[in-house]
Amino acid sequence: MANIKALAPEALYRRCDPDELGFESTAELEDLGEIIGQARALDAVRFGIGIRRHGYNLFVLGPPGMGKHTVVRQFLEERSAAEPRPDDWCYVNNFQQADKPCALRLPAGRGSKLRRDVAQLVDECAAAILGAFESEEYQARAQEVEDERKERHERAFRELQEQAERQGVALLRTPAGFAFAPMRKGEVLSPEDFEQLPQEEQDAVERTVAALQEQLQKILRQMPQARKEAREKLRELNREVAGFAVGHLIEALRREYADLPKVIEFLDALEQDAIEHVDSFRRGEEGGVALPGMGAQRPTFRRYEVNLVVDNGATAGAPVEYEDYPTYDNLIGRVEHQAQMGALVTDFTLIKSGALHRANGGYLILDARKVLTQPFAWEGLKRALYARKIRIESLGQLLSLVSTVSLEPEPVPLDIKVVLLGERMLYYLLYEYDPEFRELFKVAADFEEQMERRPENDRLYARLLGTIARREQLQPLSAGAVARVIEHSSRLVDDTQRLSTHLGDVADLLREADYWAREAGRGLTAAEDVQQAIDTRIRRADRLRERVQESIERRTVLIDTEGSRIAQVNGLSVLDLGNFRFGRPSRITATARLGDGEVVDIEREVELGGPIHSKGVLILSSFLAARYAQDRPLSLRASIVFEQSYGTVEGDSASVAELCALLSALGRVPVRQALAVTGSINQHGEVQPIGGVNEKIEGFFDTCRARGLTGDQGVLIPAANADHLMLRGDVREAAAAGRFHVYPVAMIDQAIELLCGVPAGVRGADGEFAEGSVNQRVEARLLELARIRQALAERARDKDAL
Amino acid sequence: VTEAQELVFRRVLVALDASAHSLAALHAAAQLAAQFGAELAGVFVEDVNLLRCAGLPFARELGSLSAAARPLDAAALERMMKSRASELQRRMASVAEQQQVRWSFSALRGQVIAELLSAARGADLLILGKATRLSGTHVRLGSTARAMMARASLTVMLVQHGAELERPVVVLFDGSLGARRALGLAARLAGEDHRNLAVLLEADSEGEYERLRQIAEAWLVRCGMEARHRRLAQTDAGALARAMIAEGGRVLVIDGAHPVLAEDALARLMNVLSVPVIAVR
């Protein structure tokens, strides 16, 4: 063997030299204005924001904690500051159709002015109208109208009465009206006396009375008409007086808003309405039921209010709005209701703006996941973006669930750029399944989780750390601390050539390191504080790892770290707890006997193995067949299992170990238990890289150290994983002292040689493997099995022949 | 003013016709009867003219609102008058009991004015509604009230629906004997509190005003009273109404012989005033 060297200690880790960073503490460093390592995403954001076309909204994708929100917000705020302020929007009463309030657009700042102006106007109108109606002139003219009617009525009545008296007939008041009766000497003629009159006289009286009755009827019938006329006259008078009182007040406003035709229209309608409803001004309030206990309220003229839904008066530049609770209502706006005597009522003053209103003319940032989890929010957002209009419709209305009195506010034109932030998965799912999504969110900004680790990037990273520290009001970091963070950042992405751009994790680490530095009374966060932060974080999370290692130590879980065993290999697996990953050794065993060429994956049989694991086993069995049984049937039945595994196994990173166990079983070659193996195999016997290499090595190291390092122990890793090594300090120390080894292997033969301490063997010129090599033994055994099988088959045929 | 000149109310007569005005009159009457310890007598006159009219073969009633002609049924009218009388009696009983005054009630039949005049003969004070009809806020003086003001020889008080007997009391004073009696009554109505009494002095000159004021004051001093004084340059309906408003007056007391209570002037005055008016005789 021995042509495979263990990796040198310095290859197990890529240090960052604090001296090369060129500073003592991050306090010396300038703030980092730019965003590092996200050139692609930033180009996309820049493009997406710059392009002013329908449908060019942005989806910023990347895992949470990448600082997407901060980056986008910073970007947008810088850009929006130079952009024009959008207009104000008001809703006002539609005097013709109260259920369809009108939207008014005014230049920024003039919305609130209009609201004040109109409120003041209404106050002034109320005073002016009250004054006008209390004036002597009005009182006199109104009295005149009433007097004229009464006078006319009374005159007619009096004339009739006089006429009746002249004809000897009295006009009597009956309980419900009037009656005529003939009169003699001031008294009504009694029926007996009337009988006594000559017939002609009786007839004459009757005729007179009938004629008078007719006249009276005429007079009485004219009364309602006369009253109506008088009311009409009074109304006309009221209109004239009110118009005069209100006209000049509104005229002043009209001049002020002459440049806004829709406002002028509103003022005209307001004037007409105020004149029509002059009585409500005279009563000092609007018509409606006065409730006990509510009487103390100041009378309001709600119908003349201006509901300012978007006020950009104090906005600088275009608005950048982030809606952290994007419900349908919070996005689109809503119409609220008030309970009034048990009924829900509403009007235009209860229209509330949504985030789309507030961000109109600017930018709206939303979390994709939140939008998607709020009922109908996504649909509502898309509809608004498609229509380029905000139409406020309650969900109840939308679904036709309720039919309370509601409003249909005039839609507001929408000019907005929406930036959705979300995980990659959401983006691809939406892209796949929502045809409208790709129409509306044409720009994707994909955030990179890693950046290249180069000396100049190290220095940028240091400035980034300094910036975060300042922003978070943390102590500055020493160069050593920065170096340690950079190293840890490499470890986070499992790559010596890369740094993590997951700023959330890094910021957490800085905060925790800062805490330990302050605990220790240091004014500068040092490397040991960073180390302590890392260690304590692991300590908090590693309960399960401790249990696992303990059970190995107590031999509840059987793992050998010394000696040699046939058909038994230490494999390595990684457990991911979400916030913490750790490795552990797993015993992999194999058996082989006569059979028809099948390699049984026991995990697969009991459905504890995932498809990739099964794939690994199938690859290794075809490798076996291709190498050792090219021209005869593979006459073996083998089974492979992860011992003491009670959960699912997934991934093909154990396929090298499995193959080694199988070869050991076939060739009856013992395997050194001081070594553990990880790596996946292909059909040509090449060892391919796997994930979690650091955790796996550390997992086996922990097991060995607990039992005492012998100096023989080590781990075989795929050679291609050598670049990913960022091992723990104690592992590195043991490696430097020659007490633990990491072997990079590229081919299965290298692995088997290391494991068995016997040459793997290559085919010589005669096509045979060298005598005593592992391959020779395996081939011989397979040949033997094939022969036995053939013999058995012949005997069976002979039996049949007999 | 001697004791003999002072008004004494032993029997207060109230004319009832079930109108809202007459019910207001009933309340005022009971209040006054209680104040003066007088007996309260209610009278309801069934109008014989109406009954006769209903008996005529061609009698028709024209609805005041609908103008529809309906036959007038004498029997129905009789029944209605009976029930009205018993209703009024019940009302009176309850009001009188409230004020704890002795009371009597009689229903008469005949010519309204003549019956009222004859009933008034045994009384010292007649109280009646300003009109029978209730028509809006402007109540015009009814024919019965007008006739009683003109023809009754006793003190008459006219009350309008909605008005109550309250203070301050305003009295018109021109120094005449009648005016002194009016002042006496006003002072008693006003009670102890001099803020509740205002005297309108009819004077066309400052000298006259001073003279009258001294007379009035001298008279009031004897009753232990004081009053506000106001000069009235001319005495017509408008001037009186303005003075009433200025004084916040709730009752107006006038000498019954005063020209402002004569025929047309009375109608004008009653048209502008809505407070009770007492004509002292």
Percent of chain A with pLDDT over 70: 97
Q: Quick check: B137 and B161 in contact, CB under 8 A?
A: no
Q: What pLDDT is attached to residue A405? A: 65
* Dihedral sign, Cα of residue A338, residue A344, residue A350, residue A354: positive
Q: Exposed (0-12), middle (13-18) or buried (19+): which is A597, by Cβ within 10 Å?
A: middle
Helix (H) or strand (E) run with residue B43 in it: strand B39-47
Question: For residue A501, with 0-12 CB atoms within 10 Å meaning exposed, 13-18 middle and 19 or more buried, which class applies?
Answer: buried
Provide the pLDDT for residue B19. Answer: 82
Measure CB to CB from residue B67 to each of A189, A194, A220 and give the nearest one: A220
Q: Do A181 and B111 touch (CB under 8 A)?
A: no
The whole-number pLDDT of residue A402 equals 66
Helices vs strands, H then E, count in chain B: 9, 12
Tens-digit pLDDT profile for residues A429-450: 999 999 999 999 999 999 998 9
Contact B52 A220 (CB under 8 A): no
Joined together, the tokens standing for residue B68 give 């529809």
Give pLDDT tens digits for A683-709. Answer: 999 999 999 999 999 999 999 999 999
> Smallest Cα–Cα separation from A262: which of A392, A91, A84?
A91
Nearest CB to A181 within list B59, B62, B64: B59
Token representation of residue A122: 């209404």
Nearest chain A alpha carbon to B132? A173
Residue B135 has a pLDDT of 53
A742 contacts A725 by C-beta, under 8 angstroms = yes
List, as ranges, residues 84-113 from B with C-beta within 8 Å of A: 111
On whether the CB atoms of residues B267 and B172 are closer than 8 A, the answer is no
CB-CB: which of B52, B57, B69 is closest to A213? B69
Residue-level pLDDT at A582: 95
Which of A653, A655, A680, A773 is the catalytic position?
A: A653
Which pLDDT belongs to residue A127? 87
Give the whole-angstrom CA distance, residue A649 versus residue A641.
10
Nearest CA to CA, how far is B16 from chain A (Å)?
14
Query: How many other C-beta atoms can be found within 10 angstroms of the C-beta atom of residue A464?
Result: 27
Residue A614 among the catalytic residues = no
A217–chain B Cβ distance below 8 A for any pair:
yes
Q: Using CA atoms, how far apart are residues B73 and B56, in angstroms rounded to an integer? A: 10
Euclidean distance between CA atoms A474 and A516, whole angstroms:
11
- Nearest-Cα distance to chain A for B140, in Å, is 11
A181 interface with B at CB cutoff 8 Å: yes
**pLDDT tens across A175-211, in order?**
778 888 888 887 888 888 888 889 898 888 888 988 9
Among A147, A174, A217, which would you mutate to test the B interface (most chain B Cβ atoms within 10 Å of its Cβ)?
Answer: A174
Mean pLDDT of A401-420: 86
- Judge whether B63 is closer than 8 Å to chain A, CB to CB: yes
| Chain A CB contacts of B72 below 8 Å | 174, 179
pLDDT 10s digits, A7-19: 999 999 999 999 9
Q: Which chain B residues contact residue A209 at CB under 8 A?
A: 58, 60
Is the pLDDT at A247 greater than 70? The verdict is yes
Which of A176, A188, A205 lies closest to B52 in CB terms? Answer: A188
Do A187 and B49 lie within an 8 Å CB cutoff?
A: yes
pLDDT digits (tens, 9 = 90+) for A47-85: 998 898 899 999 999 988 888 888 889 889 988 999 999
Residue A200 has φ and ψ, to the nearest 5°, of -65, -40
pLDDT of A309 reads 94
Taking CA atoms, A499 is separated from A36, A485, B163, in Å, by 11, 10, 97
| Partner-chain contact B56 A177, CB within 8 Å | no
Q: Band of the pLDDT at A777, cuts 50, 70, 90?
A: very high
Q: Which helix (H) or strand (E) is A41 found in, with range?
A: helix A39-50
Q: Which residues 91-150 of A are in CB contact (within 8 Å) with B?
A: 150
Which residue would you say has higher pLDDT here, A287 or A350?
A350
Tell me the percentage of chain A whose pLDDT exceeds 90.
Answer: 61
Q: CA–CA separation, B170 vs B210, rounded Å?
A: 18
What stretch of H or E contains A421?
Answer: strand A417-422
List pLDDT tens digits, range A163-180. Answer: 888 888 888 888 778 888
For chain B, which ranges sit under pLDDT 70? 1-5, 133-139
Q: Tell me the pLDDT band of A403, cut-offs 50, 70 and 90.
A: low
ipTM exceeds 0.85 = no
B170, β-bridge pairs: B198, B252
CA-to-CA separations, A571 to A585, A655, B147, in angstroms, rounded: 6, 9, 129
In B33-62, the residues whose Cβ lies within 8 Å of chain A are 47-50, 52-62
Nearest to A209 among B58, B64, B67 (CB): B58
> What integer pLDDT is reported at residue B3 of this predicted model?
44
pLDDT digits (tens, 9 = 90+) for A637-683: 999 999 998 888 889 999 999 999 999 999 999 999 999 999 999 99
* pLDDT computed for residue B142 by the predictor: 83
Give me the residue label for tokens 């008016």: B277
Q: What is the mean pLDDT of chain B?
A: 87
DSSP letter (8 states) at residue A25: B
A241: closest CA of chain B, how far (Å): 24
pTM above 0.80, yes or no: no
Q: Is A696 an active-site residue?
A: yes
